[in-house]
Amino acid sequence: MIPTSTSTPPSAATAVSARGVDKTFSTKQGEVVALSGIDLDVAPGEFVSLIGPSGCGKSTLLRLIADLDSPSAGTVEVFGTSAHQARIDQRYGIAFQQAGLLPWRTVAGNIALPLELHGMAPAERTARVDELVALVGLGDFAQKFPDQLSGGMQQRVAIARALAEKPALLLMDEPFGALDEMTREYMQTELLRIAAETGAAVVFVTHSIPEAVYLSDRVVVMSPRPGRIADIVPMRLGRAADRADDLREDGAFFEMITAVREALHGAPVTGPRGVETR
């Protein structure tokens, strides 16, 4: 397929730039169009959430940005280079819904993993791990093993690991999806603090409207079959970095929730055509 959108050339000033991206998976049941005609720019330091129902391709889009999959058509650029080159150059950090820690390594050992793989000297590595453990508030747990930690703590280790090499872009695929509501809200506030401290751009996949609204500068609302961007809702809630828990009870917060909800439900109903994605 040839991208039909009128492309504007991406510049190095954008953290992520997707142009006319399609993604088709071949399954036993036939071709499944996961993404169709995606155009998206994320500015440096910007917090962008991808939200939508199951099967809208939000995780797929994140995987394309991470170069864990390749687009069927169109281009994905990260800091002005191809997504592939950006992965080779380690321009992003990534966290998944599962913490994905190595159970046989301690907290410190898990956080050190990317540093080890990329050949950082041991002394430097220890110092960096100490910083990161403190950043995510796990100072007392550095020598614990993952099975000794709660789900929220494991996810904090995963975030520290994603931040290990000071990436200017953080990719997160429903990292708080498996946590209870209270831990989740705490982690959201922590993430805003960390994102502000590191100045990283964040692309954050979620299916929670309040979570997307609370965290984001912009919320990208996606619709399924085929996955496409239905709307992009800018959050008028001040800088994400300045937000705190009291925002959750603010009138403006509820207005933004309503705006995102309407964008989600107002998306053109395509109905059951083509192939189910699951």
By CB under 8 A, tell whether 151 contacts other proteins: no
Contact at 8 Å (CB) between 5 and 19?
Answer: yes
Residue placing its CB nearer to other proteins in the complex, 104 or 269: 104
By CB under 8 A, tell whether 144 contacts other proteins: no
Going by DSSP bridges, is the β-strand pair 218-223/228-234 parallel, antiparallel, or unpaired? antiparallel
By CB under 8 A, tell whether 25 contacts other proteins: no
Contact at 8 Å (CB) between 18 and 65?
Answer: yes
Which of these ranges, 20-28, 90-98, 195-203, 240-248, lies near other proteins under the rule CB under 8 A?
A: 90-98
H/E stretch holding 248 reads none
By CB under 8 A, tell whether 92 contacts other proteins: yes
Let me know the angle formed at the C-alpha of 50 by 20 and 223, rounded to the nearest 5 degrees.
65
By CB under 8 A, tell whether 113 contacts other proteins: yes
Instruction: Using CB under 8 A, pick the residue from 88, 127, 134, 275 that binds other proteins.
Output: 88
Q: Which two tokens stand for residue 74?
A: 């169109």
Q: Which residue has the tokens 């299916």?
A: 207
Helices (H), the chain: 58-65, 83-88, 107-117, 122-135, 151-163, 181-198, 209-215, 251-265
Question: Strands, DSSP E only, in 207-244?
Answer: 218-223, 228-234
Residue placing its CB nearer to other proteins in the complex, 74 or 93: 93
Residues near 255 by beta carbon (within 8 Å), at least 6 away in sequence: none
By CB under 8 A, tell whether 248 contacts other proteins: no
Which of these ranges, 8-16, 66-74, 188-196, 254-262, lies near other proteins under the rule CB under 8 A?
A: 66-74
Which of these ranges, 75-83, 85-93, 120-128, 201-209, lies near other proteins under the rule CB under 8 A?
A: 85-93
By CB under 8 A, tell whether 147 contacts other proteins: yes
Radius of gyration of the chain (CA): 19
Least distance (Å) between residue 248 CB and other proteins: 30
Residue placing its CB nearer to other proteins in the complex, 172 or 209: 172
Burial tier of 139 (Cβ tally within 10 Å: 0-12, 13-18, 19+): exposed
Instruction: Using CB under 8 A, pick the residue from 20, 47, 59, 96 that binds other proteins.
Output: 96
Contact at 8 Å (CB) between 112 and 125?
Answer: yes
Which of these ranges, 27-35, 62-70, 72-80, 127-135, lies near other proteins under the rule CB under 8 A?
A: 62-70
Number of Cβ within a 10 Å radius of residue 230:
20
By CB under 8 A, tell whether 66 contacts other proteins: yes
Instruction: Using CB under 8 A, pick the residue from 38, 40, 94, 221 that binds other proteins.
Output: 94
By CB under 8 A, tell whether 87 contacts other proteins: yes
Residues lying near other proteins in the complex (CB under 8 A): 66-68, 87-88, 90, 92, 94, 96, 98, 100, 102-104, 113-114, 117-118, 145, 147
